Amino acid sequence: MSESDQDWYAPEIATFGDRLTAAREASGMTQESLAKRLGVKKSTMRKWEDDLAEPRANRLSMMAGLLNVSMMWLINGEGAGLDTPEPHDVPGDIDEVILELRELKADLHGKAEQLARMEKRLRAMMRQQP
């Protein structure tokens, strides 16, 4: 499957932070300018883009309006958002590495979710111990 056959912003490929960064850059704003318009610190914006934190619903709504994308697109890649970027003329080797990185990122995301479920089960089991 070539890169152009994939939705760059699909939930199994891109994270909330990836979509936020892409929409912010497409709008021509810096992290600092968007943070200022949202009334948050630049460090908060950086955490959102790095997927270390998530905004509350009111900030998410404001963000979607400022970036001209839907809240659902920011959350899960569905709905009104950015189009998949035009493919660049890059050597095939680079395209293959990019695709492999994206697949690895999706696998890691799945493993992180599995790890969180296992940790939750373990904590529940520990609470049941006498």
pLDDT at 35 over 90: yes
* Whether residue 94 is found in the same domain as residue 128: yes
CA distance 33 to 92: 37
Range of the domain at 104: 88-130
What are 43-82's pLDDT values in tens digits?
Answer: 999 999 988 888 998 999 999 989 989 888 888 877 776 6
Range 13-35 average pLDDT: 88
Over the stretch 69-120, which tens digit does the pLDDT of each residue have?
Answer: 988 888 887 777 666 655 555 566 776 777 787 778 778 878 888 888 999 9
Model confidence pTM above 0.85? no
DSSP string, the chain: --GGGS-TT-TTT--HHHHHHHHHHHTT--HHHHHHHHT--HHHHHHHHTTS----HHHHHHHHHHHTS-HHHHHHS-SS-PPPPPPP---HHHHHHHHHHHHHHHHHHHHHHHHHHHHHHHHHHHHH--
User: Domain with 45 in it: what CATH number?
Assistant: 1.10.260.40
Q: Do 112 and 55 share a domain, yes or no?
A: no
Per-chain mean pLDDT for the chain: 81
